[in-house]
Chain A
Amino acid sequence: MTNADFILTADNITKSFGGVHALKGASIGMRRGEITALIGDNGAGKSTLVRCLSGIHRPDTGTITLDGEDVTFETPNLARQHGIETVHQNLALVEELAVWQNFFLGRELTKGAGPFRTLDRKKMKSTANDLLNNLSVNAPAVTSKVRRLSGGQRQAVAIARAAGWGSKIVIMDEPTAALGVQETARVENVINTLRDSGVAVLLISHNFEQVMRLSDHIWVMRAGLAVAERRSSETSGDELVALITGAKAA
């Protein structure tokens, strides 16, 4: 998969935790300007693959290619510097910190020079506020602690954080898992808006209707491998179920 259409490819990724082989040589690709879906049963290895792409895990073997360049991210910061933003399944928020602090966590804006650099609180608050409201998600006050937010608001913060950096790739690991109908619709809007602005989106979801509604391309994972791929327009929910369970071979 060295096709120039691909903005990101992962080839033969393996990753083990002690005796657990979470990834056994998974390969997927994401095309420019598309929403790529990644589906599979619980424990199939989707989140592990996501964590490899976002620099949290280093794959044991395998290569990750971004824009034709071989990259394997040592740290989450490196992945972000390469334009990959991630909404993790656990959201990766710090509950005791305020929304604006979470928004800029790890890449805070500062003012002043050298050892006297201080946090530019004003700018971070206003930027976080703008980004949250821009995405027209039900925006909480940026000064409230994440602990006080509802599950939906937390997801909104994590999604706005990932979507707000003008990045090339946004990965969303079950972004609507805990959301109601309205909030889900809002997040789906965000995902479509991202795609329309040229961002490649990787969407992990257990909701087939959502996957069929949003995605252009679908990868199916089973037991640590990407076992099948389909164009969304050329498949059906029934076929996807069969591919996930293994009732149907790729």
Chain B
Amino acid sequence: MTKIEAERPPTIVSSVVTQARQISFWAENAAPIGLVALVIVFSILSPSFLTLGNIRAMLVAAAILVVLAIAQAFVITTGGIDLSISATMTVGAIGFGMSWQAGYGFVLSAVIAILSASLIGLVNGLLIAKGKVTDFIATLGTLSVATGLALIVSNGKPIAVSSPELLVLTSGSLGIFGYPIILAAIIGIAAWFVMFRTRFGLHVQAVGGNEESAIANGISATKVRMAVYLIAATLAGIAALLLVARVGAAEPAINTQYLLNSIAAVVLGGVSLTGGKAKIVGPIIGALLLTALTNGLTLLGVSQFYQPLAVGLVVVLAALLTRFQKK
């Protein structure tokens, strides 16, 4: 090394360029690198971390967040944000619980869950795309409204659900892959396909990249925005089924952690909040990373109180790193 350096002393410019290249490499791949690093650290610290049983449990636990992160990714690609996503999931869960309690059976209850969730998305879309309300304010409002509705309708009490279909959903698996993560993976593949192989996906990216230019080229930004909030809410409805299956009940809880983590996963995945840069795999890996982080800390016996702290640190780090992404 020193010999080469003596022969060809690197100029300041070239060494800065190599460094920048390295930083941008880390920034572009923050989520996969972080995931691998976490897996290595936790598997050294805890022998049970990399057991098949724990991997299976982690993947099942990650499914809900993966679905929500994909949902959030569509909205964030347009430069928007959906703060109501977890409350929408709660509405879906309560929708399922109430329908199940009323004896509608699994399929109809599931349909009602997804429809009631997408209703929140419709309201978001109308407010933001047609009403031109700032996304942040509109979805903050529907966050509160949706939470309130869930509380009112359920009378603030969890609804126990003992659906055999949901039991199969939580406990069934192919190898180490439980049905929830398989469902999430199917949604991920479909989302990737829609985002990168269809006109609609291209229009989502165009509206997020430069709305005025998109409109000048004949794209309806209104329709695209309506659509992404609808897609996000529908996915939140599907996530609601996974949630009810996991908990065994439909709870009128706020689920704030899911909201924050869905945004965090997208940021970890290298998607900029300003929109225009679409990624699907990144947010999925971000969701896996956050789940592995929580799981590992729990295995190590770290108090639950420290988990939000750890998640927060990881996200802030990732956000700092994105500054070094290639433009």
| B213 lies within 8 A of A96 (CB) | no
The proximity string for B residues 192-212 relative to A, scoring 1 for CB distances below 8 Å and 0 otherwise, is: 010001110011011011101
| A90 lies within 8 A of B213 (CB) | yes
A108-142 CB contacts (< 8 Å) to partner B: 108, 110, 117-119
B191-244 CB contacts (< 8 Å) to partner A: 193, 197-199, 202-203, 205-206, 208-210, 212-220
Query: Any chain B CB within 8 A of the CB of A222?
Result: no
The interface on chain A, measured as residues whose beta carbon lies within 8 A of the other chain's beta carbons, has a size of 26
A57-92 CB contacts (< 8 Å) to partner B: 75-77, 80, 86, 88, 90-92
What are the 7 closest A-B residue pairs judged by CB atoms, nearest first? Answer: A77-B218, A106-B218, A106-B217, A92-B216, A96-B209, A96-B276, A105-B217
Determine which of B193, B214, B220 lies in contact with A94 in the assembled complex, contact meaning CB atoms within 8 Å.
B214
Query: Any chain A CB within 8 A of the CB of B327?
Result: yes
A192-239 CB contacts (< 8 Å) to partner B: none
| A93 to B217 CA separation, bound complex (whole angstroms) | 9
Q: Which residues of B contact A54 (CB under 8 A)?
A: 216
B-side residues, CB < 8 A to A, are 193, 197-199, 202-203, 205-206, 208-210, 212-220, 276-277, 327
Sample of 22 A–B contacts (CB below 8 Å): A54-B216, A56-B216, A75-B218, A92-B212, A92-B213, A92-B216, A94-B210, A95-B210, A96-B205, A96-B208, A96-B276, A97-B202, A97-B206, A105-B206, A105-B218, A105-B219, A106-B203, A106-B219, A110-B199, A118-B193, A118-B197, A119-B202
| A118 lies within 8 A of B198 (CB) | yes
| A101 to B205 CA separation, bound complex (whole angstroms) | 10
| A76 to B212 CA separation, bound complex (whole angstroms) | 12
Q: Which residues of B contact A118 (CB under 8 A)?
A: 193, 197-198
For residue B219, which residue of chain A has the nearest CB? A106
Query: Any chain B CB within 8 A of the CB of A21?
Result: no
| A238 to B314 CA separation, bound complex (whole angstroms) | 66
**Within the complex, what minimum Cβ distance (angstroms) separates A119 from chain B?**
6
**Within the complex, what minimum Cβ distance (angstroms) separates A77 from chain B?**
3
| B197 lies within 8 A of A94 (CB) | no
**Within the complex, what minimum Cβ distance (angstroms) separates B165 from chain A?**
27
For residue A91, which residue of chain B has the nearest CB? B213
Query: Any chain B CB within 8 A of the CB of A147?
Result: yes
| A88 lies within 8 A of B277 (CB) | no
Q: Which residues of B contact A56 (CB under 8 A)?
A: 215-216
Q: Which residues of A contact B277 (CB under 8 A)?
A: 96
Determine which of A80, A90, A95, A107 lies in contact with B209 in the assembled complex, contact meaning CB atoms within 8 Å.
A95
